[in-house]
């Protein structure tokens, strides 16, 4: 819990407390982040998502390129699925939302090649001894992605979603390159 609270505090105060680390260390960390991302086929993780102060939790499997399956720990059995082209959010209440993935900021976060290209060009910010942040501006989207300095894993992002809500997502218990059931990325029906 303390790590999540620290992550949120660091994000909200990042622009006031940015610490720049020496160029040699920065280059090394950037190279390590890029190498780790290049060698990542998939990750599974728990998440905590803060959307305008409303907290939701659950777990996800992300497979590059552009596939994700998230099951929320909620009474309404909410799931989020992307098959690489479409994004669906479904609950057991009669609600079903279907979007073209390329119309959402998640399209960029799920695109490993895009992330690699952007990171290689961007200057990173060291937020403290634990986190590195990159800010990506693309198609009127501002995407802040966060990496852990110790293991170079993606550990979170901040976006404004398609409803103009501030969405901060924190990842934990990250596992890389696991055997996964690819059937989870099929788009569920409206039924």
**pLDDT > 70 fraction of the chain, expressed in percent and rounded:** 85
High-pLDDT (> 90) share of the chain, %? 73
| pLDDT for position 101 | 95
Least confident piece of the model among 19-33, 112-126, 139-153, 158-172 = 19-33
Asked whether residue 35 is assigned to any structural domain, the reply reads yes
Q: Is residue 182 part of a domain?
A: no
Q: What is the pLDDT of residues 128-138, one digit of tens each?
A: 889 999 999 99
Tens of pLDDT, residues 60-78: 999 999 999 999 998 889 9
Domain membership flag for residue 166: no
- CA distances from residue 90 to 52, 67, 78, 79 in whole angstroms, order as listed: 20, 16, 6, 5
Total count of domains within the chain: 1
- Cα three-residue angle 159-101-177, rounded to 5 degrees: 80
40 and 177 in contact (C-beta within 8 Å)? yes
Residue 94's pLDDT is what? 79
Inter-CA distances, 41 with 6, 62, 146, 160, 161, Å: 28, 9, 18, 26, 25
Query: Which tens digit of pLDDT belongs to each residue from 80-94?
Result: 999 999 999 999 887
For residue 177, being part of any structural domain is answered with no
Residue 189 in domain: no
Average pLDDT over residues 27-33: 90
Residue 1 has pLDDT above 50, yes or no: yes
| 3-class state of residue 121 by DSSP | helix
Task: Tell me if residue 115 falls in helix, strand or coil.
Answer: helix
Cis peptide before 153 (omega within 30 of 0): no
**Could you tell me if residue 183 is inside a domain?**
no
* Higher pLDDT among residues 45 and 162, named by residue: 45
CATH of the domain at 11: 2.50.20.10
Q: Containing domain of residue 57, as a range?
A: 2-160
Whether the per-residue pLDDT at 8 is higher than 90: the answer is no
Asked whether the predicted pLDDT for residue 39 surpasses 70, the reply is yes
Is the pLDDT at 96 greater than 80? The verdict is yes
**Predicted local confidence at residue 3, as pLDDT:** 59
Amino acid 6: pLDDT? 52
């Amino acid at each position: 819990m303390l790590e999540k609270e620290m992550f949120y505090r660091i994000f909200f105060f990042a622009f006031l407390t940015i610490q720049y680390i020496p160029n040699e260390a920065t280059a090394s960390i950037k190279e390590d982040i890029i190498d780790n991302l290049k060698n990542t086929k998939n990750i599974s993780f728990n998440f905590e998502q803060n959307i305008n102060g409303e907290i939701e939790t659950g777990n996800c499997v992300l497979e590059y390129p552009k596939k994700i399956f998230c099951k929320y720990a909620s009474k309404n059995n909410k799931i989020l699925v992307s098959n690489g082209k479409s994004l669906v959010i479904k609950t057991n209440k009669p609600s079903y939302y279907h979007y073209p993935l390329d119309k959402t900021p998640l399209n960029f976060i799920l695109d490993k090649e895009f992330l690699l290209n952007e990171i290689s060009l961007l200057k990173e910010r060291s937020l403290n001894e634990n986190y590195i942040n990159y800010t990506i501006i693309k198609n009127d989207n501002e995407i802040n992605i966060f990496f852990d300095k110790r293991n170079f894993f993606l550990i979170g992002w901040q976006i404004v979603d398609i409803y103009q809500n501030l969405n901060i997502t924190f990842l934990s218990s990250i596992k890389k390159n696991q055997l996964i059931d690819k059937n989870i990325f099929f788009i569920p029906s409206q039924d």
